[in-house]
Amino acid sequence: MKIEEVKSTVKTQRIAAHTHVKGLGLDESGVPIQMASGLVGQKTAREAAGVVVDLIKSKKMSGRALLLAGPPGTGKTAIALAIAQELGNKVPFCPMVGSEVFSNEIKKSEVLMENFRRSIGLRIRETKEVYEGEVTELTPVETENPMGGYGKTISNVVIGLKTAKGTKQLKLDPSIYESLQKEKVEVGDVIYIEANSGAVKRQGRSDTYATEFDLETEEYVPLPKGDVHKKKEVVQDVTLHDLDVANARPQGGQDVLSMVGQIMKPKKTEITDKLRMEINKVVNKYIDQGIAELVPGVLFIDEVHMLDLETFTYLHKSLESSIAPIVIFATNRGRCVIRGTDDIVSPHGIPLDLLDRLLIVRTSPYNVSEIEQILKLRAQTEGLSIEDAAVSALSEIGNQTTLRYAVQLLTPANQNCKVNGRTQITKDDITEVNGLFLDAKRSAKYLSESNTKYMV
């Protein structure tokens, strides 16, 4: 008998710059732990961010804005992403960069408004008549093609659904069979089918199949209780931008609940202010009736100094709207000229009237011990083995240059280590790759010394 060890079938996750960030790393009383949830240091900024998260969760932060200000490489984006992690995936989080508004296709104000609307969620609760249960049978019934020819078409599909209380066999339209195929439904899955629209939703695999494989990638759900045919409260999360796009060219019904099914449209259409106002009226109506609930999310604008005076004015107006998200700005600039002007200098390149509306959180440069902790964390995230002496040498380099440069040396040092037949990164590997590559300061120094050799 031959026994072979196989690789795990779990999908490998791409490691990005902030993959290690899992939250703000606060204790129960909201005090930051020195190193927790992928964040190191920046205790004041993290504690302030924790207060903001509490305000967002209690729905007292809508229409307000936060500014994360600090030198490059001090964890501004990491803190913003940590706020998103703390809020969970049910609260919309829309990241963008200031330069995104300068597009040739659409107006600057339209780009900002689209992202504003993406950052505001709507949770719709609706009681629907559904057929719900575990699929016990899925049989498409074929018939001769009415158009002639040799092919056959599906006339209907027979599906068996089972709950804890009983079973039921249904004969469904062929269009529903297409929906079943799109949802990749098979025998053993728990699904529900809406009686009125025929929409199919796969909830997961039945937990009776939970021990089918050693490595599980499925989400297992219990067998539904009650009858197969029942009334069920269905909760759907959409954003206002989804509703805007779905109704730019409406098809079918005109209320919010019928709009949800039209969200995925391939063609981009123009969305007018008049349409948005009409959607806002309908949304407010459903909120008053208790059918829907507004979920103000977070719009994160990095490199906010890239915006110009016109967009800042538009932002000022949008923040005063009755339906507005929480806006988090980030910038690494000090006093500089506001873009779109020639001589108006302002802190962080933001007009003073907008700056006056912001809660400002400052991030500070990391010290050597904090850089060392971050480098160890990144090495662990990337699955690299590194000696303590190498970490110390790299943290000194990071202190003299920048944290980002030190982090970027990890991967080349690991490659150098493999070429030399070792499994652990040593101090020699760090010294060698630091000699091969230049940081921004050394490159600028070399450029100033050899400027005459370059073309103007």
pLDDT of residue 149: 57
pLDDT of residue 14: 54
Q: What is the mean pLDDT of residues 328-348?
A: 89
pLDDT at 412 over 60: yes
Give phi and psi for 194, each to the nearest 5: -70, 130
pLDDT of residue 261: 53
pLDDT of residue 7: 45
Domain 35-91+297-362 in CATH 3.40.50.300? The answer is: yes
| Class of 126-235 in CATH | mainly beta
pLDDT of residue 250: 52
- Is residue 331 very low, low, confident or very high in pLDDT (cuts 50, 70, 90)? very high
Say if CB 74 and CB 308 are below 8 A apart.
no
Which residue did the predictor score with more confidence, 141 or 367? Answer: 367
- Is residue 130 very low, low, confident or very high in pLDDT (cuts 50, 70, 90)? confident
pLDDT of residue 217: 56
pLDDT of residue 209: 73
Domain 368-439 sits in CATH at 1.10.8.60
pLDDT at 12 over 50: no
pLDDT of residue 266: 47
The proportion of the chain whose per-residue pLDDT surpasses 70, expressed as a percent, equals 87
pLDDT in tens, 276-316: 888 888 888 888 888 888 888 888 898 899 888 888 888 88
Say if CB 359 and CB 369 are below 8 A apart.
no
pLDDT of residue 10: 42
pLDDT of residue 11: 40
Which range is most confident: 135-149, 201-215, 392-406? 392-406
98 phi-psi bin (left φ>0, alpha ψ -120 to 50, beta other)? alpha
* Mean of per-residue pLDDT scores for the chain: 81
| 35-91+297-362 and 368-439 in the same fold | no
pLDDT in tens, 147-172: 655 667 777 888 888 888 888 888 88
> What does the domain layout of the chain look like in residue ranges?
35-91+297-362, 126-235, 368-439
pLDDT of residue 265: 45
Q: What is the mean pLDDT of residues 398-406?
A: 88
pLDDT of residue 55: 83
pLDDT at 264 over 50: no
Which residue did the predictor score with more confidence, 394 or 294? Answer: 394
pLDDT in tens, 19-72: 778 888 888 888 888 888 888 888 899 999 998 888 888 877 766 788 999 988
pLDDT of residue 278: 86
Q: What is the mean pLDDT of residues 91-107?
A: 82
pLDDT at 337 over 50: yes
Q: What is the mean pLDDT of residues 82-106?
A: 83
